[in-house]
Amino acid sequence: MSECKICNAETKLIMSFGKMPIANGFISNVTDDEFFYDLAVYFCPSCFMVQLDKTVEPEIMFNKNYHFISSTSNAMANTLKKLPKRLWKLLHLKNHLLL
């Protein structure tokens, strides 16, 4: 059970992925300790927000081995440029469906 990060309502578990390592958390030796956290996705029936219940501390997530910088990805930049138009279309369709 988890509490919504937006409206504090009780959320419902959608899916649990169990213990997961952080992204790009490559270890040098198999004997090194690796950080794991419980990755679970929850849904809020009050505000419809889908969210993770746990947030990994930025110091752990974006450590010295974290090399992904989103602004250097042309594919991501192009996708994000198109996102507002796609969302507007999606929300527009939903409004028609609700009427």
Residue ranges binding Zn ion (CB under 5 A): 4, 6-7, 9, 44, 46-47, 49
Residues contacting 69, CB < 8 A, separation 6+: none
Give the whole-angstrom CA distance, residue 44 versus residue 9.
7
Give Cα 47 distance to the centre of its chain: 17
How many beta carbons lie within 10 A of that of residue 18, not counting itself?
A: 8
**Judged by CB, which is closer to Zn ion: 4, or 22?**
4
* Minimum CB distance to Zn ion, residue 6 (Å): 4
For residue 42, the minimal CB distance to Zn ion (Å) is: 10
- Specify the length of the chain in residues: 99
In the complex, least distance from residue 14 CB atom to Zn ion, rounded to whole angstroms: 14
Q: Which is nearer to Zn ion, 7 or 90 (CB)?
A: 7
Of 6 and 80, the one with the shorter C-beta distance to Zn ion is: 6
